[in-house]
Amino acid sequence: MTDEVVPTAAALVIGNEILSGKVQDTNSRDLALLLRRLGVRLQEILVVPDDRARIAGAVAHLSKSFDWVFTSGGVGPTHDDVTIEAVADAFGVGTTTHGETADLIRRHYGDRCTEGHLRMALVPEGAALEVIESVRWPTVRMRNTFVLPGIPEVFRMKLAVVEAVVGRHRPFVSHAVYTNMDEGHLKPLLDAVVEAFPNVDVGSYPTWTDPRFRTKLTFDGLEEGAVVAAKERFLASLPAGEPQWTDP
């Protein structure tokens, strides 16, 4: 059971607006939550500027290191949108105009269609254009790398395509315990659980502002039995009368 291969993934967030603090990135968290639900382990999030060489280098590295890569941003028509060219560079191919996407753009904009609009039909040579019933505008996938837009509403919409293509694997199980003990006192209790349950990922998160508890403990893994047993072992080790609650 523990040798089961869990698919891995990385997110590549592209945009000067994130690095300058103008915009809070939320796309990587929406992706993280979806991948968690699908049973895919997100191993890295990387944010880089709108720089073709930097993006290309990152895609080349990440696409070799992880099963799936998801880029966010840099796919519009303007000068700072260089993700398509960079993904093509990363895979050593050129770019080409995707006929059906260009037709969709021409129909959408009619007489007002410009060369700029048609730039959005540009794809790396050899890319797959993913379409599902609920998201008919094609989504670019170059081998294991999905090219997703940066606008959060559109990014979230496209996650349905990711789910359809990546598929559902064995989902992670997650249990939580909340206590008023601090981490210094919890450490020996947690060390014992970590040692006894090597397949359970035990997390400890102190809070400074939540009046209801001081530390949140999480027990995550693929085997529900082990996760529950680790949580129960931890609960049994708490001092008598120490207040705590669990979820679930």
**3-class DSSP state for residue 44?**
strand
Question: Are 207 and 213 in contact, with CB atoms under 8 Å apart?
Answer: yes
Of residues 54-93, those binding its own copies (CB under 8 A): 76-80
128 vs 235 by CB, closer to its own copies: 235
17 vs 130 by CB, closer to its own copies: 17
* Least distance in angstroms from the C-beta of 153 to its own copies: 5
Q: Report the alpha-carbon distance of residue 95 to residue 85 in Å, rounded.
A: 7
- As separate numbers, helices (DSSP H) first and strands (DSSP E) second, the chain gives 9, 12
Of residues 208-247, those binding its own copies (CB under 8 A): 208-209, 218, 220
Residue selected from 39, 47, 61, 164 as contacting its own copies according to rule CB under 8 A:
47
Rounded (to 5) percent helix, strand, coil in the chain:
40, 25, 30
Residue selected from 64, 92, 109, 125 as contacting its own copies according to rule CB under 8 A:
109
CB atoms within 10 A of CB 8: 16
Of residues 160-219, those binding its own copies (CB under 8 A): 172, 174, 183-188, 190-191, 194, 201-209, 218
CB atoms within 10 A of CB 123: 23
**3-class DSSP state for residue 102?**
helix
Q: Which residues of the shown chain bind its own copies in the complex (CB under 8 A)?
A: 13, 16-26, 28-33, 35-36, 41-50, 76-80, 109, 112-117, 119-120, 151, 153-154, 172, 174, 183-188, 190-191, 194, 201-209, 218, 220
